[in-house]
Amino acid sequence: MRYNFPSGEKIVTSFVVGPEDTASFGGVEVHPVCSTFAMAREAEWACRQFVLKLREDHEEGIGNGLTIEHKAPALMGQRVDVIATLESCSGNDVLCSWEALASGRLLATGTCSQKVLDRGLLQQRFERLRDTL
């Protein structure tokens, strides 16, 4: 794993809240706003951008922790900016904090931790798991 980002480095990703992002269960919409699980997906994607830049060709990242405090709703059609901040890289661990904003309004905050592992070893782990099913 390359260490070419200092702690505090930021990466911003954006998405527009669509029907697939609303709070829905079993095809039934609960609220026509961005769901917590969609926010979590987008937060992990923003933080993964660091892994994509830090990993080497034979490596892959895998998430191992995500926290979210959903503070305010985002309406369908609103653009949401997710700001990932690199907190630390230690060994093969990558830790980020993140926040989501819409029109400058804070929607959510949290952390995301990922590990960078050898791609071949990771695939072997998945195959061993499949063998147990």
Containing 67, the helix (H) or strand (E) segment is strand 59-70
Is residue 102 pLDDT above 90, yes or no?
yes
Domains and their CATH numbers in the chain: 10-131 (3.10.129.10)
Is residue 5 pLDDT above 80, yes or no?
no
- pLDDT tens-digit series, residues 14-71: 999 999 999 888 888 899 999 999 999 999 999 999 999 999 999 999 999 999 999 9
Question: pTM of the prediction?
Answer: 0.91
Token pair belonging to 23: 């709070």
CA 80 to chain centre: 14
Confidence at residue 34, expressed as pLDDT on a 0 to 100 scale:
96
- pLDDT tens-digit series, residues 74-85: 999 999 999 999
Residue range 95-105: mean pLDDT, rounded:
97
